[in-house]
């Protein structure tokens, strides 16, 4: 086989190899993102949910309500848009239409960057001022103690 022909073949198949590696990398990234989301969802349901339910029961004894909102990514969303989050809102009577008008704590998992972000909204005025960041860490670092500390800090600020 002559050298020019061989070089052309190598060029053609090197593009094919790069394309295959890219597809393989994309599948590996998708699997990694799904594993990280699964870790976050399991922690939400087995560790954080019992804390939120206990705080909710405490609030009910004080004449208030709470609401937990869960937001999941679209099934076919690209890896960088696969955020999963939940919000815990404290509701004082009389109840308005939207729970976001009350103080809330949001916990969001960005599996693409392997980060969990905590945000709080301490508004009681009937209009949301938006969520302000209160911390961020790797998914593996978030445990029950971290969540409880964030919840207590949020409640302390909300009831100042």
Residue range 42-88, pLDDT digits in tens: 999 999 999 999 999 999 999 998 999 999 888 777 767 778 899 99
Residue 144 neighbours by CB under 8 Å, 6+ apart:
47, 48, 51
Alpha helices in 44-160 (DSSP H): 49-61, 144-158
Cα separations in angstroms, 71 against 57, 86, 129 = 23, 6, 20
Segments in the chain below pLDDT 70: 1, 15-25, 79, 96-100, 122-130
Residue 32 CA to residue 25 CA, distance in Å, equals 10
pLDDT, residue 44, reads 92
pTM of the predicted structure, to 2 decimals: 0.74
Residue 26 CA to residue 31 CA, distance in Å, equals 9
pLDDT, residue 125, reads 53
Number of structural domains found in the chain: 1
Using DSSP's 3-state secondary structure scheme, residue 67 falls into strand
> Taking a C-beta distance cutoff of 8 angstroms, is the pair 117, 108 a contact?
yes
> Taking a C-beta distance cutoff of 8 angstroms, is the pair 151, 48 a contact?
no
Cα separations in angstroms, 111 against 49, 119, 137 = 20, 17, 12
Q: Tell whether omega for the bond before 67 is within 30 degrees of 0, i.e. cis.
A: no
User: What secondary structure letter does DSSP report for 81?
Assistant: G
The set of long-range contacts for 50-54, using a CB threshold of 8 Å and a minimum separation of 24, is 51/144, 51/147, 51/148, 51/151, 52/88, 52/151
Q: Write out the residue range of the structural domain in which residue 68 sits.
A: 3-158
User: What secondary structure letter does DSSP report for 45?
Assistant: I
Residue 84, phi then psi, degrees to nearest 5: -115, 140
pLDDT, residue 22, reads 56
């Amino acid at each position: 086989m002559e050298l020019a022909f061989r070089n052309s073949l190598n060029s053609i198949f090197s593009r094919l190899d790069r394309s295959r590696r890219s597809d393989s990398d994309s599948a590996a990234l998708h699997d990694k993102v799904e594993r990280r989301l699964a870790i976050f969802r399991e922690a939400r349901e087995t560790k954080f949910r019992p804390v939120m339910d206990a705080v909710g029961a405490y609030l009910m004894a004080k004449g208030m309500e709470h609401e937990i909102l869960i937001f999941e990514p679209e099934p076919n969303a690209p890896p960088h848009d696969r955020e999963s989050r939940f919000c815990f809102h404290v509701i004082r009577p009389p109840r308005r239409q939207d729970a976001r008008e009350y103080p809330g704590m949001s916990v969001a998992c960005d599996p693409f960057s392997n980060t969990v972000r905590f945000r709080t909204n301490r508004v009681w005025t009937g209009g949301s001022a938006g969520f302000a960041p209160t911390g961020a860490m790797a998914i593996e670092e978030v445990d029950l103690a971290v969540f409880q500390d964030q919840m207590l800090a949020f409640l302390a600020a909300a009831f100042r």
